[in-house]
Chains A and B, each alone.
Chain A
Amino acid sequence: MAEPATTASRLVMDADQIARTCARMAHQVLEANRGAEGLLVLGIPTRGVPLAERLARAMADVEGVDIPVGALDITLYRDDLRRHPTRAVGRSRLPVGVDDAVVVLVDDVLFSGRTVRAALDALGDLGRPRAVRLAVLVDRGHRELPIRADHVGKNLPTRADERVRVRLEETDGVNEVTISPGADGGAAPGDQDAEGTR
């Protein structure tokens, strides 16, 4: 088990809330798409991937059909590669082609919007989806690009220097969302590491 939230960090969502939120989002995606037809759910590593799998599983339970789910690593499309030492590249996994699919991008936290911008560029190189939707567990504001989510688990007002942490059973051994004051000055929104994707 991960260490309990320290006094400085506040619990925003617990395991039950995350589970209920995922279930609701699954219904919302299906409602907006009028069913599961053509859906392809792609998680952005690291924590978008287990979330995408949960969403796809929840949708499959509702609709009674398999929903293709995969991973879309965006490292090579980031706009800040030259500001950091060489970054490790994650694994992409596409169960079906993106051409003419309704791609649902899934990430844990929406912050500056730069990760999503990179994901859109990556998708464009893979083919031409019929539509791209964005589903995030937490929208914490402070966008730096004109990007918004179609499906949001929880809108969380934050200060730019606060740190939102999503931890999931599959990657961290525990399901919880916490917020903590920015240590040592905190992260600027442009720093994608603060989005909790890595």
Chain B
Amino acid sequence: MRHLLSAADLTLAQTGEILDLAEEMASVQARPVKKLPALRGRTVVNLFFEDSTRTRSSFELAGKWLSADVINVSAKGSSVSKGESLRDTVLTVAAMGVDALVIRHGSSGAPAQAAQWVDAHVLNAGDGTHEHPTQALLDAFTLRRHFRSAEPGLDTFAGKQVVIAGDVTHSRVARSNVLLLQTLGADVTLVAPPTLMPSGVDRWPVRTSSDFDAVLPEADAVMMLRVQRERMSGGYFPTPREYTVGYGLTRARLATMKPGSAICHPGPMNRGLEISADAADAASSLILDQVAAGVAVRMSVLYQLLGGEDAPATPRGDV
């Protein structure tokens, strides 16, 4: 694997490898010395053109725990704010001799574009409304653990009903999850008000519904999406109150979920809008497990990309 740009890049076997290795990496978090030497001498740059707390810090920790050198470049306080283009920023950073670029950008396709310009490995840490593949991997990791608590040894999600509810149009998390859950064999249903259901969704490998109450009781897991007010120019729904009534995971809806069904949310949550406090803090909520899984899954991905010999295309030789 050279880059991780889309969840669609991953086969079922590769996904299984990443999740299995993440289980091993998770045990590092419990050790007195949280450090593995596997990426010694590698350099990883987090290039974040959009705000992020959990993704940036978990990529940073993942790289550091694997002994890579990690630096963070954010748009604020960098030459980007002086008007430097994406291409120049990427080439400048790459010219310092980095092995991997972790890129978050507000424009869909920016990491894929960057991957064409540089020899370094490129990881998509979220691009516009397109994809967020490591989020889908950590969701799959969290769900696999949850499903395995009832069915030890489970390898695919065949027969599992997963409902993804909320602002699908603006959600890169939803897109990556749809792709990865399809690879894992789950049955995915998207629930959104018609205004927040993307055009062309009929060609996705999913069912769609605008009736949350009808599909929720069947779900083995429900993924709530954040209402992304920063990407909305308004007019998607009349009032927040109305959104909550139709599509929020309220206390009343929580009671209709079947026993053992899991609740996920990629964060940050708008409590009281798409998810109620009762649901967010319920025993069946995996939201904090998702955060905890972030570092382990990103360690696994970084090792898969950087753990072996340099790809032949890389001009830098072994020192």
Contacts and interface: CB of A to CB of B under 8 A. Distances in A.
Interface of A: 73, 75-77, 81-89, 91-92, 121, 124-127
A92 B27 contact: yes
Interface in B106-132: none
Q: Is the interface of B mostly helix, strand, loop or mixed?
A: loop
B191 to A, nearest CB: 38
A42 to B, nearest CB: 14
A86 B38 CA distance: 11
Contact of B38 (A76, A83, A85): A76
A126 B307 CA distance: 21
Contacts of A88: 17
B309 to A, nearest CB: 6
B37 A82 contact: no
A89 B24 contact: yes
Contacts of B305: 86
B144 to A, nearest CB: 16
Given A82-B318, A86-B303, A91-B24, A76 B36 contact: yes
B35 interface: yes
Given A77-B37, A125-B35, A86 B304 contact: yes
5 contacts: A76-B307, A82-B318, A85-B308, A124-B33, A125-B32
A121 to B, nearest CB: 7
A92 B24 contact: yes
B31 interface: yes
B318 A127 contact: no
A84 B37 contact: no
Contacts of B21: 89
B14 to A, nearest CB: 11
A83 B317 CA distance: 11
Contact of A81 (B27, B31, B32, B38): B38
A82 B32 CA distance: 27
Contacts of A83: 309
Interface of B: 1, 17, 21, 24, 27, 31-33, 35-38, 66, 303-305, 307-310, 318
A137 to B, nearest CB: 26
Contacts of A73: 24
A127 B32 CA distance: 7
Q: Which of B1, B17, B303 has the most CB of A within 10 A?
A: B303
A87 B17 CA distance: 11
Contacts, number: 49
Contacts of B37: 76-77, 121
Contact of B303 (A82, A84, A85, A89): A89
A80 to B, nearest CB: 10
Contacts of A91: 24
Closest 9 CB pairs of A and B: A86-B308, A76-B38, A125-B33, A86-B307, A85-B308, A76-B36, A89-B21, A82-B309, A89-B24
B36 A77 contact: yes
A85 B36 contact: no
A129 to B, nearest CB: 13
Nearest to A82: B309
A126 B17 CA distance: 24
A85 B161 CA distance: 37
A189 B66 CA distance: 27
A125 B24 contact: no
B307 A87 contact: yes
B56 to A, nearest CB: 24
Nearest to A118: B37
B31 A126 contact: yes
A125 B29 CA distance: 12
A77 B303 CA distance: 12
A88 B14 CA distance: 11
Contacts of B309: 82-85
Nearest to B32: A127
A77 B1 CA distance: 21
Contacts of A84: 308-309
Contacts of A86: 1, 303-305, 307-308
Contacts of B17: 88
A4 to B, nearest CB: 33
A154 B305 CA distance: 40
Nearest to B35: A125
A6 B21 CA distance: 37
A91 B26 CA distance: 12
A134 B289 CA distance: 38
Contacts of B27: 92
